[in-house]
A and B are shown apart, each in its own frame.
Chain A
Amino acid sequence: MESLKKDKVSKLSHKKCNPGVGLRSTHFPYLERSPDTCIKWFEAVSENYMDSFGRPRLILNKIRERYPIALHGVSMNLLSTHGLNELYLQNLKSLIDDIEPFIVSDHLCWTGTKPSNIHDLLPFPYTEESLKIVCQNIDHAQNILGRSLAIENVSTYMTFKQSEFTEWDFLVEVSKRTDVKLLLDINNIYVSSANHGFDPIKYINAIPTEIVCQVHLAGYTDMGDFLFDTHSKPVYPKVWELFRLFIEKAPNVPFMMEWDEDIPEFKVVENEVLKAIDIWREVHIQGDTKYVQK
């Protein structure tokens, strides 16, 4: 019994609960007061800082003094058929050199065609040709930035008849070919599964945990005809269930809460993170404690 207990404690010591939150300018005044918080790191949207040398950048630098930062982009345009925007990559690299983030991520999507930018995370058919294009672009970005990237699965409102892969197989294949890590957005998995009628558990089980470096949580909006990824609500119960399923297999993966529309005060966002921490503890600590007590 004693050796079993030691074994459990030893296993526990390798588990690390690593909660974060999306840094938003509405929370700057609160965060400048250096409040006590359960948050261990912040995720900043790269484009909000890479061309700004005023107050936003100053606050980011101040927060960086106290916390690790992940940089999360929305404009790399990884499915671009014209290659990537070199100015964008240069400016992102400067920000990376300044902030020294522990993760740099963007989305598995396209955002426009030269010269038009749609400023959206746009869907595409999962084909061998799309796979080649995205892998070329990821290789190029990783070479220019001199580091590995993480790519995030997006919520979609359409699929395509010509797709040759499921979304999860496509993601895994991209990772295999480029060594890119995955930023797994659990809310996006749920939204897309409801929109397209696939099993979200099958999706999560198909993703090898060792290629996932970060998890996103957020709330969607039910539009009646479909679910819309708005980041404007607390996390829904079904999404918490999927989070529990994933975090059980991957205790050390950093997870974070995004809130981008109708942003409430920081404490409300933090409260969602506390719910995630509770789930993490239920899965990884209370379960172990009960076992040891037996």
Chain B
Amino acid sequence: MSKNKLQSFQNQFVEFINQGTKFDDLSHSIIPAGKLSNPFEALEVHKKGYFARLTEALGETYEGTWFAMGDDMFFNICEEFINENKSNKYNLSDYGKNFPQFLEQRRDMIAIPFIQDMAKFDWMFKELFHTKQHAPASIDELQRIETEPNLSLEIEDSVRLFSSRFSIYKIWNHRNDTSEESLNINYESPENLLLYKKNNEIFVKELSEIQYDIIYSLKSGHSISVVLEKMGVYKQDELVSVFQIIGATGIVSGLRSDI
């Protein structure tokens, strides 16, 4: 067998798994194990394994989405997703980044209006889980904000913001709950969330809409003076509360002067 033949063998093998295509060359070369009656039964062992592994990976990442859909719907949609989206990453846990977009395109998802947002939250949570926690800026350093309003805050990738017109986190918190109560959650109040890491655990804090906008603006790199100007004097209380949150959560890793 030349390199090209090994390559051709591998391509045919993968095509069977991905598309179910049966090649004579491949089947004639295979001696199936044990009492498996033909080469395709042996290939099916790997095909079933492929779908099982990718479904398991999606289930681990999209726990909240799985909970909201229920087993039957989730597994059916996983199968369709896997058929349409081949894995091309070496790390199994990176599979399924575009699952929220896949759900968005499906008309039958209208029955669960919050499902795309839930899937986006699941993926964000998974990314945050694997992200390194930054070291928070010291209180002394943060106090420079009072006298130097032209400073910007460094808010790293281990801090995320999430906004939805549905109660995503409230539902997500019930993802391991099998009680009757978990089926009757009112999901119709909007949520603005701050996700951050402390002691290497993930914390989720609910924000008001204005607090969310202020932190979003600061995270985007706007200086404190610019944010103050945008928010206006009448939102001073909210601004003070944001700085209290910054102090308590340690979401700022440093200060940056752009001048």
- Nearest to B12 among chain A residues (CB) is A113
Q: Are B129 and A117 in contact (CB under 8 A)?
A: no
Taking a contact as CB atoms closer than 8 A, the residue among A51, A130, A194 that contacts B91 in the complex is A51
Complexed CA–CA distance, A127 and B9 (Å): 13
Binds A, one of B81-89, B160-168, B216-224: B81-89
Q: How many residues of B contact A (CB 8 A)?
A: 50
Contact bitstring B30-60, A, C-beta under 8 A = 1, else 0: 1111111001011101100110011000000
Q: Are A75 and B53 in contact (CB under 8 A)?
A: no
Q: B135 interface residue, CB < 8 Å from A?
A: no
- Chain B residues within an 8 Å CB radius of A117: 86-90
- Nearest to A87 among chain B residues (CB) is B90
Number of A-B contacts (CB under 8 A): 139
Q: A34 interface residue, CB < 8 Å from B?
A: no
Q: A9 interface residue, CB < 8 Å from B?
A: no
Q: B28 interface residue, CB < 8 Å from A?
A: yes
- Chain A residues within an 8 Å CB radius of B110: none
- Nearest to B34 among chain A residues (CB) is A226
Q: Are A160 and B3 in contact (CB under 8 A)?
A: no
Q: Are B17 and A81 in contact (CB under 8 A)?
A: no
Taking a contact as CB atoms closer than 8 A, the residue among A119, A132, A161, A226 that contacts B87 in the complex is A119
Q: Are B32 and A116 in contact (CB under 8 A)?
A: no
- Chain B residues within an 8 Å CB radius of A53: 130-132
- Nearest to B90 among chain A residues (CB) is A75
Q: Are A124 and B6 in contact (CB under 8 A)?
A: yes
Complexed CA–CA distance, A129 and B32 (Å): 22
Name A's interface SS: mixed
Complexed CA–CA distance, A159 and B34 (Å): 11
Q: Are B92 and A130 in contact (CB under 8 A)?
A: no
Q: A88 interface residue, CB < 8 Å from B?
A: yes
Q: Are B87 and A195 in contact (CB under 8 A)?
A: no
B166 CB to nearest chain A CB (Å):
27
Q: Are A157 and B46 in contact (CB under 8 A)?
A: yes
Q: A133 interface residue, CB < 8 Å from B?
A: yes
The 6 tightest CB contacts between A and B, nearest first, are A226-B34, A195-B33, A53-B132, A158-B42, A81-B7, A115-B88
Q: A54-B129, A120-B53, A129-B6 are in contact. List 18 more A-B contacts (CB 8 A).
A: A56-B130, A75-B90, A79-B6, A81-B7, A113-B14, A117-B86, A117-B88, A120-B50, A124-B9, A125-B9, A127-B6, A129-B1, A157-B33, A158-B31, A158-B43, A160-B29, A194-B34, A225-B41
Identify 9 residue pairs between A and B in the complex whose beta-carbon atoms are under 8 Å apart, listed by A's number.
A50-B91, A53-B131, A54-B128, A113-B7, A113-B11, A116-B14, A125-B1, A132-B3, A157-B46
B residues apposed to A, CB below 8 Å? 1-3, 5-7, 9-11, 13-14, 17-18, 28-36, 39, 41-43, 45-46, 49-50, 53-54, 86-94, 128-133, 197, 200-201
